Chains A and B, each alone.
Chain A
């Protein structure tokens, strides 16, 4: 006796049949996808690789007074060495010696323009240019420090002296605003003192206006002393 399939059994078979077709379709998709991948990867693929090596990535430049640059930075200038030692001086009139009125000092430096963009940043002879930079790769580092090595006193030919601490300076720059990288201060009477800092990979510059305190009466004469500025990187 032939048994008729129940409606529920027929539904199950239809479901099973649909599942088989879905499985086949799925296999087809996978097969076609696989073929596509094979086609895409079939060629001899390659990429060209070069290695970039930082060359002489660290550079320092410090200029106090005149300096050397082949041309302005904006025009691709390169820094150079300049052995010039500039003079900052004042002459105190006999009648004014020791009267407590500070005497402005002037410089023989002709460095008025910034080597960054040739902008007339300092006013000579009243201001001494100081500037520079510290180049380094990688993330921003601690600042480079600029220090001054100061003798205890300015000395005359006859051996008289004036303490270096009688000389101070203010700091500014034409068109400048905000804090100066080389702020105002006064010399210590002998020793090494910090005069400024340079954040890595930034150009830093200020114009220093020196003055002599003129609060004492030294012996007549010409008093000289040399301050050495040093840039130290971290």
Chain B
């Protein structure tokens, strides 16, 4: 590379950087974890029970399920008067693969998610500082992974349009 070419490199870098900054919002949505500190569980203790009382004859039926109801209150003030997509995320966590299935009262969408993934539960304008709904959650886990009580975390994520 010639010295002249080297001299020209920095301006190109800043040009590209500037373009990247300008284009960034439209190229990939920014994900932010939503403040859900106002969320409450109607049943604080979640009992995990066998989904079926009996195991299978030839194939093992080991699914255990636990149900709880959350009064979800999401602080979406930072996105007020904008559009956004809200996801329910179930991070990969111990003791192993989990499935969460939920029903709502309509403000958020129902769905199902495997641990390590997230699912869209709202898309549209943010018209109030808080989004609230009652979410009936059911967790499913292979009983062979369960030895004792364990915590499960879910979080709500916002992708800005």
Contacts of B45 in A (CB 8 A): 51, 53
CA distance A29 to B14 in the complex (A): 10
Given the known interface contacts A14-B3, A53-B46, A55-B48, the answer about A47 and B153 at a Cβ–Cβ threshold of 8 Å is yes
- Residue B19 at the chain A interface, CB threshold 8 Å: no
Apart from A46-B155, A116-B54, A137-B143, 5 more pairs, CB < 8 Å: A32-B21, A40-B30, A50-B139, A51-B45, A55-B47
- The residues of B with any CB-CB pair to A shorter than 8 Å are 3, 6-7, 9-10, 13-14, 17, 21, 30-37, 39, 41, 45-50, 52-58, 60-62, 64, 66, 68, 70, 75, 78, 91, 137, 139, 141, 143-155
- Residue A6 at the chain B interface, CB threshold 8 Å: no
Name B32's contact: one of A45, A53, A133 (CB within 8 Å): A45
Main secondary structure of the interface of A (DSSP, over half): mixed
Contacts of B58 in A (CB 8 A): 202
- In the bound complex, do residue B46 and residue A52 qualify as a contact, i.e. CB atoms below 8 Å apart? yes
CA distance A135 to B23 in the complex (A): 57
- In the bound complex, do residue A48 and residue B149 qualify as a contact, i.e. CB atoms below 8 Å apart? no
Name B57's contact: one of A14, A114, A135 (CB within 8 Å): A114
CB A16 to nearest CB in B, in angstroms, measures 12
Q: Which A-B residue pairs are the 10 nearest by beta carbons?
A: A45-B33, A47-B155, A55-B47, A44-B35, A53-B149, A203-B57, A73-B54, A47-B153, A201-B55, A137-B146
CA distance A140 to B37 in the complex (A): 39
CB B2 to nearest CB in A, in angstroms, measures 10
- In the bound complex, do residue B143 and residue A57 qualify as a contact, i.e. CB atoms below 8 Å apart? yes
Contacts of B147 in A (CB 8 A): 137-138
Name B35's contact: one of A45, A52, A115 (CB within 8 Å): A45
Name B10's contact: one of A21, A40, A133, A139 (CB within 8 Å): A21
- Residue A49 at the chain B interface, CB threshold 8 Å: yes
CB B87 to nearest CB in A, in angstroms, measures 13
- Residue A76 at the chain B interface, CB threshold 8 Å: yes
- The residues of A with any CB-CB pair to B shorter than 8 Å are 11, 14, 18, 21-22, 24-25, 28-29, 32, 39-40, 43-57, 59, 61, 73, 76-79, 114-117, 133, 135-140, 201-203, 205
- In the bound complex, do residue A47 and residue B55 qualify as a contact, i.e. CB atoms below 8 Å apart? no
Name A202's contact: one of B30, B60, B154 (CB within 8 Å): B60
